[in-house]
Amino acid sequence: MDVELLDIRQHIAGNAPFDTLSDDLLDEVAESIEVGYFRADTMICEDGQAVENLHYIRSGAVEVYRRNGELSNRFGEGDIFGYSDLLRNQRVRFPVKSIEDTLVYFIPASLFQRLCNEDEHFADFVEVGRPRLETTVDHQHYDNTMMTTRVRKLISRLPVMIEADSTIQSAAAKMCEQNVSSVLVLQLETEASSHTFVLGDGKQWRTVGILTDQDLRTRVLAAGRDADLPVAEVVTQNLIAIQSDESVHEAMLCMLRNNIHHLPVLHRRRPVGVLHLSDIIRYETNSSLYLVGNIYHQTSLKGLARLSDDVQRSFVGLVKDGANSQMIGSALSTIGRCFSRRLIELAEEELGPPPVPYCFMVMGSMARNEQAIVTDQDNALVLDDSFDPEQHDAYFLALAQRISDGLDACGYTYCKGDIMATNPRWRQPLQVWKQYFSDWINDPNPERLLHSSIFFDLDHVYGEEGFVEQLQDLVADRASKSPLFLAAMARNAVNRTPPLGFFRTFVMEKDGKQNNSINLKRRGTAPLIDLIRVHALACGSRAQNSFDRLDDIAKTQLLVGRSSERIRYALEFISMVRIRHQAIDIDEEREPDNNIEPENVSDSERHNLKDAFQVLSNAQKFLKFRYPLP
């Protein structure tokens, strides 16, 4: 394939629905393409015109119109159009016009039909006529739920290999040089067979065994063997190996059954890595369940603080295992709650039993079960109405101080807005809290709206759960009956707009600290969560999690059509882009944050981000319309 075709192939391979095609089908698409150039303001597809190709936009932008002349959609680089007409009567139903100088790839209708027949993902994308964003998210979810963790996920490097006629001494030297505890031993074969594979040199090789550091001790040093002997004389024969798509569980069972610590991993017959027993142990200890158990075994703040690095490892492990944002948010929130509970238990052991009943309450992402790896603490104490400040507050201040200091030591930084139980304003009896919430709803001035956006995501962590349930019931009952409050919340929820400019280009941050980047929390997930909260309050939902709130909203008539589904897909996709980039930061030993640089993401991811931000923009526009000022 020449350079021009390779360029075409690489471009289409980065965008849905071509990104899942096999190599053979991608080659066919690239080789079949014809190119068309259209100046700005040129009709590409006229109403009623015969459709003979699928259209792929290499560069530029187009607009699609309804028959009455109204704008239906706008597409840019990496988008396709014309597929719905190809699936119907092969006549243009929605005219298309270029709005910029546009380069279009034409893919023949016959090949389009083959792609639909031979690739299920491609067919789902075009036949259902679903937006690219929804198809991408569902496809990722399908992969995550249908596949358990595969052995290949644990492989971090290619195996070290050596020829069978090499000396034992050279094998040991290579193990030292590569810092490995084993080498695979290969034999050159003259002919291909069911046991051979081809390396980059084009020759046929067969894996005849493995040499480990234990073999060197027991079969060479302890036995007094000459280090100049061929390695084949001391290698472990009858190689036990596993295929790369087997599960980690099966690999562990294989090691236990055969009493081995090194397990070669093959892709068909070709070695792609060597799994050590420690890799599986490390994988198991990175799990959130292991970490939760370890938290409750700690007997001091110092022991808890040592586990803060394990939180990051657990987070990265979840991302690499293909968990979605709900699974990751729930796991991290559970870990954060466990740190809080254990700190409270340790504080009560030191301070003694509380003088009156209380509840330790959390707000924000932990309350929603949507905690991220970059987070601070938002908490408060709801005290029994028998609370007497003069008699009891010294105890609860000391308790709050120990909890906040402990959380900070464990990686949950102090809240910059002082939304913590150490602030006496947020350490009050239940009746005072009820008055707070009533005032916020009845008279929504700017400060009270800010508190509403924080405190209306609330949940119990420790103590009297009923205290928080009463506050949740108050919010659900009263907010839905206050049009003025909902209208004020709606206007407050559109202050943070998505980073989209004209023609859906990205608008970068220009704050001097994160120039030419996009803050995915401030400009993406946070405004989505804000608008979901408004609709949830309007329908009296008692759910705290944003996805659960969307389920409640979908049962009402608050949103039209499939709006709640689109918001769900947008929130999941932006959340996962943010999560994946934080995991990359941790892997590369950088401090994780909420910012991405668009040039550092794939073409497909950029297009889907634009789609998700457009969903947010549309949902914000609807919010003011849905909740007008009385």
The angle, 0 to 180 degrees and rounded to 10, between the axes of the packed helices 23-32 and 109-118 is: 170
Of the candidates 339, 415, 328, 400, the residue with the CA atom closest to the CA atom of residue 369: 328
For 408, half-sphere exposure in the C-beta direction (CA atoms, 13 angstrom radius) is 12
Q: In the prediction, which pLDDT does 592 show? A: 92
Q: In the prediction, which pLDDT does 147 show? A: 37
Q: Strand 262-267 relative to strand 242-243: parallel, antiparallel, unpaired?
A: parallel
Q: In the prediction, which pLDDT does 455 show? A: 95
- Hey, is 38 helix, strand or coil? strand
> Taking the alpha carbons of 412, 415, 421, 426 in that order, is the dihedral positive or negative?
negative
Burial bucket for residue 454 (CB in 10 Å: 0-12, 13-18, 19+): middle
Q: Beta-carbon neighbour count of residue 382 at 10 Å? A: 28
Rounded to an integer, what distance in angstroms lies between the CA atom of residue 555 and that of residue 366?
A: 25
- Mention every residue, 6+ apart, whose C-beta is less than 8 A from residue 527: 493, 494, 496, 497, 498, 616, 620
Rounded to an integer, what distance in angstroms lies between the CA atom of residue 330 and that of residue 402?
A: 25
CB 153 within 8 A of CB 248: yes
Please name every residue paired with 50 in a beta bridge, in sequence order, or none if there are none.
Answer: 91
Please name every residue paired with 188 in a beta bridge, in sequence order, or none if there are none.
Answer: 205
Please name every residue paired with 162 in a beta bridge, in sequence order, or none if there are none.
Answer: 185
With tokens 């063997």, the residue in question is 225
CB 603 within 8 A of CB 58: no
Q: In the prediction, which pLDDT does 503 show? A: 46
Q: In the prediction, which pLDDT does 4 show? A: 82
Q: According to DSSP H, which parts of 509-555 are helical? A: 526-538, 546-554
Q: How far is CA 130 from the centre of its chain?
A: 21
Q: Which amino acid is at 514?
A: Q
| Pair of tokens at residue 393 | 């507050």
With tokens 């290499």, the residue in question is 58
CB 208 within 8 A of CB 184: no
Measure CA of the first residue to CA of the last residue in the chain; give whole Å: 65
Please name every residue paired with 427 in a beta bridge, in sequence order, or none if there are none.
Answer: 381
Rounded to an integer, what distance in angstroms lies between the CA atom of residue 192 and that of residue 435?
A: 81
CB 74 within 8 A of CB 62: yes
Rounded to an integer, what distance in angstroms lies between the CA atom of residue 291 and that of residue 296?
A: 9
0.75 exceeded by the pTM? no
pLDDT, mean of each 10-residue run, the chain (630 residues)? 79 82 87 94 92 93 84 83 86 91 95 89 70 66 49 84 94 93 92 85 89 91 91 85 82 76 88 85 63 85 92 87 85 92 96 97 95 92 97 97 97 95 97 96 91 93 94 95 95 89 56 70 95 96 95 91 90 94 91 84 79 91 90
| Pair of tokens at residue 374 | 């970059």
Q: In the prediction, which pLDDT does 383 show? A: 98
Q: Strand 96-98 relative to strand 80-81: parallel, antiparallel, unpaired?
A: unpaired
Strands in 71-76's sheet, in edge-to-edge order, are: 43-45, 96-98, 61-65, 71-76
CB 402 within 8 A of CB 422: no
| Pair of tokens at residue 218 | 């027991």
Beta-strand runs (E) in 396-539: 427-429, 458-463, 518-519
| Pair of tokens at residue 105 | 């790839």
**What would the 3-class secondary structure string for 301-361 be?**
HHHHHCCHHHHHHHHHHHHHCCCCHHHHHHHHHHHHHHHHHHHHHHHHHHHCCCCCCEEEE
| Pair of tokens at residue 272 | 């792609």
Rounded to an integer, what distance in angstroms lies between the CA atom of residue 358 and that of residue 468?
A: 10
Q: In the prediction, which pLDDT does 151 show? A: 82
Q: Which amino acid is at 489?
A: M
